[in-house]
Amino acid sequence: MNVEPSVQTKLLQLAGVDAELTRIAHRRSALPEQQEVTRLTGERHGYKDAAVAVEIGIDDLDRDIRKLEGEVDAVRKREDRDRDMLTSGTVAAKQLSEIQHELGSLERRRSVLEDELLTVMEQREAMLADHDHAGARLSKADQDLEDAERLRDEAMADLEVAQQRCEKDRAELIGLFPTDLIAVYDKQRAAHGVGAALLQARRCGACRIEIDRGEMQRIAQAAPDAVLRCPECSAIMVRTKESGL
């Protein structure tokens, strides 16, 4: 294949645009801003679970408190009833000591229940502090996630702009080349990542492998408009003044 050397040189511009497109695609797939969003989403899930667990814990304690309060109330009512009987003067002597005995055990029972109630209320107090802490942590996580998502969206939008600019440049450049040259270039690029590169200091700019002297001699003798391929990676080797031939 033969193509004007000046047109061949423009392949380097196309290769530059394509390298930029590859960088953009890579950056998009490994966007640190997206990784941060993923990390913060996981962290937020953890905080949300913790906050829900604390709420469930408080509900459980509230139920325990209501139950204990009901029990204390029932004991107190029985004490009141017993005292009423004692003061009514209608109770026989034998029954009197039974009632006094019962009053004693009711008081002990109530004291145990009240201690228990106090303990549960203290637990609830502590859990309310946990609840506040979990809530504050969750709203900070929400805010952090929102900020990270905004940064991610901005980074994505920047990439989108860069990609559109490259695609526009590429569309403009493509028209400069014969279609069979572009076909070779695109096939090579699809297979090896780089379609064309500068030959410089005896090295192919695509694979960086040094070309042996015999091959260099053949290259030096080739017609200026001959399209040369790298003997190692098959990339189109573009010769310019910098090639040192």
**Token output for 121:** 């209320």
Q: How far is the CB of 178 from Zn ion (least distance, A)?
A: 22
Q: Considering only CA atoms, give the Rg of the chain.
A: 42
**What is the rounded distance in angstroms from the CA atom of residue 228 to the CA atom of residue 236?**
6
Q: Does residue 215 bind Zn ion (CB under 5 A)? A: no
Terminal-residue alpha carbon distance, the chain: 20
Q: Which is nearer to Zn ion, 44 or 229 (CB)?
A: 229
Among candidate residues 192, 166, 165, the one with its CA nearest the CA of residue 14: 166
Q: Does residue 230 bind Zn ion (CB under 5 A)? A: yes
Interface region with Zn ion, contact rule CB under 5 A, candidates 22-30, 91-99, 217-225, 227-235: 227-235
Number of residues that bind Zn ion (CB under 5 A): 7
**What is the rounded distance in angstroms from the CA atom of residue 209 to the CA atom of residue 233?**
9
Q: Which is nearer to Zn ion, 94 or 213 (CB)?
A: 213
The residues that bridge with 204 in the sheet, in sequence order, are 199
- Give the contact letters, 168-207, x = binds to Zn ion (CB under 5 A), - = no: ------------------------------------x-xx
Backbone angles phi, psi at 232, to 5 degrees: -90, -55
Q: How far is the CB of 213 from Zn ion (least distance, A)?
A: 16
Q: Strand pairing of 228-229 and 203-204? A: unpaired
Q: Does residue 3 bind Zn ion (CB under 5 A)? A: no
Among 22, 34, 232, 245, binds Zn ion (CB under 5 A): 232
What does the binding site for Zn ion look like in residue numbers (CB under 5 A)? 204, 206-207, 230, 232-233, 235
